Amino acid sequence: MGTSGGDQAVLDPRDLVDGSVLEEPTAWFHRLLDTAPVWRVPGRDLVVVSSFDTVTEAVRRPDDFSSNIRSVIYRDDDGWPALVSLGFDDGASSIDVLATADPPMHKGHRSMVLHELIAAKVAALRPTIEALARARVADAVAAGSFDAMAAIANPIPIRVVSRLVGFVDDDPDDLLAAAFDSTALLAATQPVEVALEAMARAAAILDWIGAEVDRAIADGADGILDLAAQAVRAGELDRDSAVVMMHTLLSAGGESTTSLLGNAMWALANDRPLQDRLRADRELLPAFLEEVLRLDSPFRYHLRYARQATVLDGVEVPAGAVVVLLWAAANRDPRRFEDPDDLRLDRAFPRDHVGFGRGIHLCVGAPLARLEAEIVLGALIDATTSIEPGDLPPERVNSLMIRRFETLPLTIVP
């Protein structure tokens, strides 16, 4: 058994890592959904899971599908997806933190982080986010035409996550580069040399974060960094896991909200009636953001590792296979969503998507990301009468993993 659904001959494995396909991937997502909701890529220890039901089933089965990833995907010389090992064996390693940890380890990590992400503490960040949003939007209005990523979507989330974590050296450009370099390792669309370069940059980032963790262990700190340092001193968390945890929060926290903001601004710029509806009724803004998360999921996939031979939706998954949980395709599954490719503000259950993952690995920072996006988009809508595409076309990051704009030229009218 190699596929579920129809004739897998219509599927080209090269599409999985082809940047031109991933630029506008909707048609490809539907080919997967129609043909092979669980697809064993020919000649590769790689399984792509795309339907809503199969993706959510897989996350409920950590005994079969481990989050402890051992390999990442790259694009080989023939344009096919291939795998490169991260150098870990089947035992636990320091990379197994938060998104890449399984129970019971994952529960302890998540509890530590959630201490700082409870509703009251997230709400306490509102004044900081509002001040950043007002300043950045005011500058954009004064400019008239601007790159919305450089002006708004990039700097605000990285400042917020830096404060939340408790980093001292919070130069936004350095932190942003660190966050983006980390997710570049999972792009899947690059040659192996580029993937290895991303690994090397990630190692350098870990050295810097390690110095921050060591400082916190010795002298104390603020935010989640201090909680991690306390756990290390108490023997509840090893130092390397603390470093990877802070690294994960930086990269995921910066990347997810940055992508959400860019995708939301682009959706607004291309739909003037939608802008007018949101200006007339700001209570529709949360529903709008949920649809942006569904249609343009910031993280389009996460990986799982098949601990043992198993079956998913009638498809045999061999032991050791790398399993791609394709959130972005699941969010367009017509068996789950009426008019799956349409942005609708009237869905009965607007959060019933996997734009922030699902199950025990639901993004811990989702409430903060939603708050940031609502504040920033609200400030932009309030300060403008029109948001339009700029003179130059936007550019997206070449990645299977990330749905983020590299540049996003916009023009606004006060």
DSSP 188-235: -SS-HHHHHHHHHHHHHHHHHHHHHHHHHHHH--SHHHHHHHHHHHTT
Q: Is residue 358 part of a domain?
A: yes
Task: Count CB neighbours of 94 within 10 A.
Answer: 15
pLDDT at position 184: 83
* Global pTM value: 0.90
Question: Range of 70's domain?
Answer: 8-413
Please check whether residue 323 lies inside any domain of the structure: yes
Question: CATH number for the domain including 172?
Answer: 1.10.630.10
DSSP state at residue 56 = H
Specify the pLDDT at position 92: 43
Q: Which of 28-37, 77-86, 99-108, 395-404 has the lowest mean pLDDT?
A: 99-108
pLDDT tens, position by position, 187-231: 999 998 887 887 787 777 788 888 889 999 998 888 888 888 888
Q: CA-CA distance, 381 to 309, in Å (whole number)?
A: 51
Task: Give the number of domains in the chain.
Answer: 1
DSSP structure string for 77-105: TTS-EEEEE-S--SS--TT-SGGG--TTH
Q: What is the mean pLDDT of residues 240-248?
A: 83
The one-letter amino acid code at 387 reads: I
- Per DSSP, helices labelled H in 36-79 are 52-59
Answer with the residue of higher pLDDT: 352 or 231. Answer: 352
Which of 90-99, 201-210, 236-245, 375-384: highest mean pLDDT? 375-384
Q: How confident is the model at residue 382 (pLDDT cuts 50, 70, 90)?
A: very high
- pLDDT for 234: 86
Greater pLDDT, 302 or 195: 302
* Rounded distance between C-alpha atoms, residue 166 and residue 224, angstroms: 7
Give the pLDDT confidence score for residue 85 in this predicted structure: 83
pLDDT at 125: 87
* Residue 346: pLDDT over 80: yes
What local confidence, expressed as pLDDT, does residue 133 receive? 97
CB 152 within 8 A of CB 257: no
- Structural domain includes residue 2: no
Q: Say if 161 falls within a structural domain.
A: yes
**The pLDDT value given to residue 16:** 96
Query: CA-to-CA distance for 265 and 351, rounded, in angstroms?
Result: 20
301: confidence class by pLDDT, cuts 50, 70, 90: very high
Q: Could you tell me if residue 1 is inside a domain?
A: no
pLDDT for the residue numbered 98: 46
Average pLDDT of 136-164? 94
Q: Quote the pLDDT of residue 170.
A: 59
Report which of residues 108 and 50 the model is more confident about.
Answer: 50
φ and ψ of 411, to 5 deg: -125, 135
| Closest-CA residue to 157 (of 137, 142, 175, 184) | 175
The 10s digit of each residue's pLDDT in 62-99 is 999 998 877 889 999 999 999 988 765 544 444 555 45
Name the least confident of 74-78, 100-104, 306-310, 364-368: 100-104
pLDDT at 50 over 50: yes
- Comparing 33-37, 254-258, 396-400, the range with the smallest average pLDDT is 254-258
pLDDT at 169: 59
* CA 284 to chain CA centroid, nearest Å: 24
pLDDT value at 5 more than 70: no
Tokens of 183: 């997710």
Query: Is 263 exposed, middle or buried (CB count within 10 Å of its CB: 0-12, 13-18, 19+)?
Result: buried
Whether 76 is covered by a domain: the verdict is yes
* Alpha-carbon gap, residue 384 to 137, rounded angstroms: 9
pLDDT value at 329 more than 70: yes
Has residue 9 got a pLDDT over 70?
no
Task: Answer yes or no: is 121 within a domain.
Answer: yes
C-beta atoms surrounding 234 within 10 Å: 8
Q: Is residue 186 part of a domain?
A: yes
Three-class SS state of 402: strand
Q: What angle do CA 285, 289, 292 make, to 5 degrees?
A: 140
Mean pLDDT of all residues belonging to the chain: 88
Taking 70 as the threshold, does the pLDDT of residue 108 lie above it? no
Question: What pLDDT is attached to residue 117?
Answer: 54
Report d(CA 410, CA 296) in Å as an integer: 19
